[in-house]
Amino acid sequence: MTTTALELNRDQQMKLFEPLPTTGQPRYGHSATGRVFLDPEPETLYLGQISIEQHLRLSGITEPFIVRRLLAEQDWRAFESNYAETGRAPYSPRSMLGLILYGIMQGVSSLRGLERLARLDIGAMWVSGGNCPDHANIGRFISMHGKLLTGEFFVGLTRSVLTETKTGGKRLAGDGTVIEAACSHYHLLKEEAAKQSLAQAEQSPNDGRRQAALQQIQWAHETLQTRKAAQRSKGKPGDKVCVSLQEPEAMVQPLKRGRGTGPSYKPSVVANEGRVVLGIGVHPSSETPLVADMLRQSEVISGNTVEELLLDAGYCSHKILQLSVAQDISLLCPEGKVAGQVKQSGKYYPKAQFRYDETRDAYLCPNQQWLTPLDRYRGNVQTQAYVRYTTPACKDCPVKTHCTRGKRRTIKRYPGDELKEALRIVMQQPQAQAIFAKRQAMVEPVFSILRLKQGLNRFRRRGLAGVKCEFALHILAYNLSRAVVARSDFIYALLKGCLMHLLPQNFISWPSNIRQEQLLQMAY
């Protein structure tokens, strides 16, 4: 297969002893709020006497143009109102956020990395208009506008991406992952260590640093006590619960890819069939509490009512089932790893393998014995009400070792178990399994791109609020990349159709050695 070598046009290259070109374009722009911002136009940027625009187009690089155009469509008045009306002209919010998002799309998310990118990358120069802020200014910008980035700006930019990709929000797929927090897992505190640290901080010299350290340790100690109480309410021992002094809000939990345990957060997303993320959320340890809020985000952004929701087995809980019934959403969510099959266990028969008969109010076990009601628990604030079922046939059962290690097997039936049983029947239908099979292609690649291309393997900001802001930036950059792909595919299909129409009728086959990048380059 042969490829065409790229040669840039050097006809207008600047001569060695000729004066520099002058553009006469202003470097300052007036915003809608009347504030003056440093917002130069990228058309005034040159490489010698070749404009950056011409260089990018000759190279077939379309990403910076699409990113800048989509950002130009947004309403920046909320950002601009956060600045004082007097003083030196600040960098325009459009150029600052454009640099940040474009950098994350290239896998650069550190503040110093973004500073370097603004000075060396031609695409970043086009997006930012040539502004070159230092890392401190970039960090202050993110901190200043954190609420906007996770709120109304996220809504506005995602709507533009939906228009660009021509997709909606009626069918969504959800998923979550575990991402390490910005702290060391070697400095975790258990209860005794937390008490010792608190005592040492109280005895230290009374100054500003002591007060800040004391507040941090008190916060970590209170968080530790809350988590221990939560573990005990579930009937689990709380002796092994620990907390990070640097990042108390992060939960110590198993990390991905066999990296052991460490302080981390669980970000979650819901994406449509075009793999555009319409709802995001971050929780210290759970994915299910975020679903309702993510669905509301999706409906606000897309303007569509969610009709189908595809989730993996980690979301199969009473709360999610009740939510889907309350909002009239068709939920597809398996109990185990394989859709349509009941949850399996290597030790004992799971509850899903016991069939409930409503007319008899009894469970039929795998050995065809009936389990009848034993007692009832009314429940309290922390624990749901339930009915326990058992059978005396366990004593002589030949498969008892596969069922229980006690004298007899008991099954607890909670309010809402009928929803799980109905969902189990739905997931056994071939049509439901065919629809659910689309979930993997809709949402699984999102976190693959975030980790492998954008480098989100560990958060850089601390605290739940900071982590939410950082995750929103990554999702905004990811959604912009979906718009870039959609626009490139559209232009490619359009150009290919036009060229095929113009080719002679006896020209039978399309040249196989012409790639998409070359065709886009030919167009420019």
Q: Please tell me whether residues 32 and 109 are part of one structural domain.
A: yes
Q: What is the CATH number of the domain that holds 270?
A: 3.30.420.10
Task: Tell whether 322 and 368 lie within a shared domain.
Answer: no
Q: What is the reported pLDDT for 218? A: 75
Which DSSP category does 91 fall into? B
pLDDT tens-digit profile, the chain (524 residues): 455 555 555 555 555 555 544 444 445 555 666 678 888 889 888 888 889 999 998 888 999 999 999 999 999 999 999 998 888 889 999 999 999 999 999 999 999 999 999 999 999 999 999 999 999 999 999 999 999 999 999 999 999 999 999 999 999 999 999 999 988 777 776 666 666 666 666 666 666 666 666 677 777 777 777 777 777 776 677 667 788 878 888 888 888 877 788 899 999 999 999 999 999 999 998 999 999 999 999 999 999 999 999 999 889 888 999 999 999 999 999 987 666 555 666 678 888 889 999 999 999 999 999 999 999 998 887 778 999 999 999 988 998 888 988 889 999 999 889 999 899 999 999 999 999 999 999 999 999 999 999 999 999 999 999 999 999 999 999 999 999 998 776 555 555 555 555 555 544 454 555 555 555 555 54
- Let me know if residue 153 belongs to a domain: no
**Residues 436, 402 share a domain:** no
3-state helix, strand, coil in the chain (%, to 5): 45, 15, 40
Boundary (domain end) residue, out of 113, 144, 175: 144
Instruction: Please indicate, yes or no, whether residues 112 and 241 belong to a single structural domain of this protein.
Output: no
Note whether 275 and 392 are same-domain residues.
no
Number of domains in the chain: 4
Residue 150 lies in a domain: no
Q: Same domain, yes or no, for 173 and 193?
A: no
157 in a domain, yes or no? no
238 and 292 together in one domain: no
Of the candidates 416, 444, 462, which is a domain's last residue? 416
Residue 345 lies in a domain: no
Domain contains 218 = yes
In a domain, 402, yes or no: yes
Among 382, 416, 450, identify where a domain stops.
416
Look up the domain containing 367 and give its range: 351-416
Residue 359 CB coordination number (10 Å): 5
Compute the Cα dihedral for 245, 251, 256, 262 and give only its sign: positive
Note whether residue 456 is domain-resident.
Answer: yes
Residues 92, 111: one domain?
A: yes
Q: Are residues 399 and 492 part of one domain?
A: no
Co-location of 113 and 34 in the same domain: yes
pLDDT of residue 256: 84
Cβ neighbors of 295 (< 8 A, separation 6 or more) are 172, 270, 279, 306, 309, 323, 327, 329
Q: Are residues 433 and 318 in the same domain?
A: yes
Predicted TM-score (pTM) of this structure? 0.84
Same domain for 397 and 318: no
Q: Is residue 335 domain-resident?
A: yes
What pLDDT was estimated at residue 292?
Answer: 95
Q: What is the DSSP string of 14-64?
A: PPTTSPPP-----SEEE-TTS-EEE---GGG-EETTEEHHHHHHHTT--HH
